[in-house]
Chain A
Amino acid sequence: MSAIEEAVAELARLPGIGRKTAARLTYFLLKQPRAVIERLAKALLNLAEQVKACSVCGNWSDTDPCLICADTRRDRSMLCVVEDAADIAAIEKTGEYRGLYHVLGGHLSPLDGVGPEQLRLDSLVARVANGSVVREVILATDPSMEGEVTATYVRGLLERYGVRISRIALGLPVGGDLEYADSVTIARALAARREMTG
């Protein structure tokens, strides 16, 4: 494989990039000064070398714990459970939430081989279990069938610990992916969250 083919193949693996776009990007990069390509390569390497999942919440971060977990001004009695780290960014943008987060790393999808063992559930239980300062867990998994059933599962896991468990008020009709919902919608869904009962 030539260097050009290799670059095209690697770029084409990115979401939303087909082979045509990958080829266009490759030829664009070829025309750039070497320093531009070096900066891009270094930025990508830094991603791999410096960014790690926060050992507490699972958020991507340069530091461990992440800046949110380390921030003493945040409300430690509230824990917001999300599917992906990208959802944290979407909720942070609203500026309406001052608690901590927990990233599950996906949703239940047995058909795709994603069961409870594949999600960060043990560490979630540990954060909520006896002696914890957490008083409310907000389940902010995606407003999709998989997100809803994941919320149902997590509620079942946590209900014995006597915390308030609530679900953000985004019904299925909103559809799809929390990450892509706008700030106003997310802020409203947080404010109107409802207690989840069995």
Chain B
Amino acid sequence: MGLVSTPAIVLHAIKYGETSKIVKLATRDYGIQSAIAKGAGRPKSRFGAQLEILSEGTAHLYLKPSRELQTLAGFEVLRLRPGLAGEVRRYAAAQVLTELVLRCAPAEPHAWLFEFLSRQLDRLAEVTSVKLDEAALSAVWQLVRILGFAPQLDYCARDGRSLGAGAARFSISDGGLVCSACAAGRRTALLSRDDREALQHLVAGSYDSPVNLSARHAAAHRRLLARFVRFHLAEGREFKALDFWERLPWRDT
């Protein structure tokens, strides 16, 4: 395929040897790609600071579809997103998105997945502290939905019966809300009317949602989402960034 250029986000970067880096990129046009950036570890390399994780730019790649490791010829950074390092919660949420994309995204390129990730990372870097928990929960729930694992919130996830308004029971293993008949004898989490409504907004990703989660509620929502992901997407694999995000204290200590 030869030399190609594509918008790309650096998902992961490790030093390789004394002077090189191996990066995992979410590219818009070629899906997830691993590439070696030779000389990127030198302080005055042509890559400079440009291969920082979570940064975005234009990647120039020598692509050989038969290869697992491509060669990165250059990377022009457009967004470094230093805001993500300003609060541990921002970085932790961004790492959860990264982890889900790396583990669960389809191999073939999907421009909309790239655009989604780019938009959400921008938002996590810039959203006010007060709205951060909501932005993080919403970003992760939306990604879960995009990856094909949307929770069932409209009717009973077991028997399809319609659900009354107000508080409801959420069953992780059934993948959504369940009616009271189905909830009997099952492990469920009780969602108050407000929490149920909040969950609907978070999954839908409505930006001007009226959701206003207290820190304690946000932590409960984090636990629910983390358990949901582990049950439906993990397939026995460890999700370390998810673990870290779930265990974050209510407030930065």
Q: Which residues of A contact B (CB under 8 A)?
A: 15-18, 108-113, 115, 143-146, 148-149, 151-153, 156-157, 172-177, 180-182, 198
Is there a chain A Cβ closer than 8 Å to B159's Cβ?
no
Contact A110 B243 (CB under 8 A): yes
- Residues of A within 8 Å of B82, CB to CB, are 145, 148, 172
Contact B240 A113 (CB under 8 A): yes
Task: Tell me the residues in window 23-67 of chain B with beta carbons closer than 8 Å to chain A beta carbons.
Answer: 40-43, 47-50, 52-55
Contact B85 A173 (CB under 8 A): no
Contact B18 A112 (CB under 8 A): no
- Residues of B within 8 Å of A143, CB to CB, are 49
Please, could you name 21 A-B residue pairs with CB atoms under 8 Å apart, sorted by A?
A16-B17, A16-B18, A108-B88, A109-B95, A110-B92, A110-B243, A111-B241, A112-B240, A113-B238, A115-B240, A143-B49, A145-B54, A149-B88, A149-B91, A152-B86, A156-B252, A173-B48, A174-B43, A176-B40, A176-B41, A181-B43
Is there a chain A Cβ closer than 8 Å to B128's Cβ?
no
Known interface pairs A17-B17, A173-B49. Does A145 touch B84 (Cβ–Cβ under 8 Å)? yes
State the Cβ distance, A147 to closest chain B Cβ, in Å.
Answer: 8
Q: Which residue of A lies closest to B91 (CB)?
A: A149
Task: Tell me the residues in window 54-108 of chain B with beta carbons closer than 8 Å to chain A beta carbons.
Answer: 54-55, 80-82, 84-88, 91-92, 95, 98-99, 102
The docked-state distance in angstroms from the alpha carbon of A85 to that of B43 is 18
Is there a chain A Cβ closer than 8 Å to B207's Cβ?
no
The docked-state distance in angstroms from the alpha carbon of A157 to that of B50 is 29
Contact A144 B52 (CB under 8 A): yes
What 9 pairs between A and B have smallest CB-CB spacing? Answer: A175-B49, A148-B85, A110-B244, A16-B18, A16-B17, A149-B85, A110-B241, A149-B91, A113-B240
Known interface pairs A16-B17, A173-B49, A176-B49. Does A111 touch B99 (Cβ–Cβ under 8 Å)? yes
Contact B245 A172 (CB under 8 A): no
The docked-state distance in angstroms from the alpha carbon of A159 to that of B184 is 48
Most buried by A among B42, B98, B245, B252: B252
The docked-state distance in angstroms from the alpha carbon of A157 to that of B88 is 12
The docked-state distance in angstroms from the alpha carbon of A173 to that of B49 is 5
Tell me what chain B mostly uses at the interface: helix, strand, loop, or mixed: loop
- Residues of B within 8 Å of A15, CB to CB, are 15, 17-18
Is there a chain A Cβ closer than 8 Å to B209's Cβ?
no
Contact B85 A180 (CB under 8 A): no
Is there a chain A Cβ closer than 8 Å to B19's Cβ?
yes
- Residues of B within 8 Å of A198, CB to CB, are 252
- Residues of B within 8 Å of A182, CB to CB, are 43
Is there a chain A Cβ closer than 8 Å to B169's Cβ?
no
The docked-state distance in angstroms from the alpha carbon of A15 to that of B18 is 6
- Residues of B within 8 Å of A151, CB to CB, are 85
- Residues of B within 8 Å of A174, CB to CB, are 43, 49
Contact B245 A110 (CB under 8 A): yes
The docked-state distance in angstroms from the alpha carbon of A182 to that of B49 is 16
- Residues of A within 8 Å of B221, CB to CB, are none
Contact B80 A172 (CB under 8 A): yes
Known interface pairs A145-B85, A172-B80. Does A110 touch B95 (Cβ–Cβ under 8 Å)? yes
The docked-state distance in angstroms from the alpha carbon of A144 to that of B55 is 11
- Residues of A within 8 Å of B240, CB to CB, are 110-113, 115
